[in-house]
Amino acid sequence: MKKIGLITSGGDSPGMNACIRAVVRTAISKGLCVTGFYRGYDGLIDNDYVELTAKSVSNIIHRGGTILKSARSPRFLSKEGKLLAVEHIKQHLLDGLIVIGGDGSFKGASALTDLYPIKVIGCPGTIDNDLVGTDYTIGYDTAINTVVDAVDKIRDTAESHDRIFVVEVMGRDAGLIALRSAIGSGAEAILIPERQGDLELLIDKIKTWRNTKSSKIIMVAEGDESGGAVNVANTIKREFPNFDVKISILGHIQRGGNPTCMERVNASLMGFYAVNALLEGKTNSMIGLINKKVSYTPFKDAVKHIDELNPVLLEVLEVLSN
């Protein structure tokens, strides 16, 4: 193996730059060259690339986002798009490819290897933390810290006016951001995609809330069946017209910001292990960290969504929110 390619694909997440840096510098230390492609699979299709050096990844470990930029590539879903990507892989004489992204990115990587026998390793880059095969994905720790920081500020104004705040966080298919940030911020309730009937349970819970707390925080994952923060707030207002209910949708601030120290360390380890995995002949697998040890999970297993949340975390939230 002499030359590898590198892309960041799908939604961006804090820590991707730290992983890019680790991949490039580890590869160089092993005598490999690295070609980075801009905008994920679109860059492979358009042959939009840059040769990455140790200097080109200097001073990026602390930056959010990705210097290689990212995209979701509808064109790569077509056979024509994949064949163009393969042609450019051949043109650059790539022996391996590292993909930093989420489940859609790994499905794309598997499809690519069906057409061309290149070794591919994935690094889990998604704030949702919903991939099987790693305790934490790149971006998750920073995202939940961003949410907790925002909710701490929201709590200040909620306390001043005795308000209920319904805070919507990202999580189209998973409630992991909502769950941990709810515990970390002292929220009173969560609504998440993994559970049914949350809104009805919330209304019942509100009836029993003690009056010694002047503010209440309700955390809603965007993919919850209730329809998001706006619908939840409107429902509460209808049931309890005397309550002062406000809405805060945090949106894409959760994707940005400087990665936390733990994020940088985990992303650096994953980039390091990804290069070594290629050199060891591994392919079609995602690098993960489980109990602080490296793991290798086949793409077909890594993309499966985690349907059950940690019951202990759910119990802790329920006990501490009373």
Q: What is the identity of the amino acid at 127?
A: I
Q: What is the mean pLDDT of the chain?
A: 92
Neighbour order of strands in the sheet with 216-221: 189-191, 216-221, 164-169, 245-249
From 12, 42, 128, 224, active-site residue: 128
The two structure tokens encoding residue 42 = 């679109």
The CATH number corresponding to 141-255 among 3.30.460.20, 3.40.630.10, 3.40.50.300, 3.40.50.460 equals 3.40.50.460
Whether 3-139+259-302 and 141-255 share one fold: the answer is: yes
- Given CA atoms 251, 238, 245, 143 in this order, what sign does their dihedral have? negative
Cβ-contact 119, 112 below 8 angstroms: no
Q: What percentage of the chain reaches a pLDDT higher than 70?
A: 97
Residue-level pLDDT at 105? 93
Instruction: Specify the CATH class of 3-139+259-302 in words.
Output: alpha beta
Question: Using one digit for the tens of pLDDT, what is the confidence trace for 74-89?
Answer: 999 999 999 999 999 9
Give the integer Cα–Cα distance in Å for 159 and 69: 40
Residue 238 DSSP SS3: helix
What secondary structure letter does DSSP report for 211? T
Higher-scoring residue by pLDDT: 269, 210: 269
Contact partners, residue 57, CB within 8 Å, separation at least 6? 17, 20, 21, 24, 25, 67
**Any idea where the domains of the chain sit in the sequence?**
3-139+259-302, 141-255
Beta carbons within 10 angstroms of residue 301's beta carbon: 12
- Determine the 3-state secondary structure of 168 from DSSP: strand
Could you tell me the CA-to-CA distances from 220 to 100, 199, 224, 290 in Å, in that order? 28, 10, 7, 28
Provide the pLDDT for residue 195.
Answer: 84
Q: Which residue has the higher pLDDT, 132 or 162?
A: 132
67-81, 219-233, 299-313: which range is least confident on average?
A: 299-313
Instruction: Verify whether residue 301 is a known catalytic residue.
Output: no
**Mean pLDDT of all residues in 113-131:** 94
8 A C-beta contact, residue 106 and residue 274: no
Around 232, how many Cα atoms within 13 Å sit in the side-chain half-sphere? 34
pLDDT band, very low/low/confident/very high, at 242 (cuts 50, 70, 90): confident
What's the pLDDT score for residue 307?
63
The end-to-end CA distance of the chain, in Å, is 58
* pTM assigned to the model: 0.92
Q: Dump pLDDT digits (tens) for 186-230.
A: 999 899 988 888 888 888 888 877 665 667 899 999 988 888 999
Residues 257-271 have a mean pLDDT of: 97
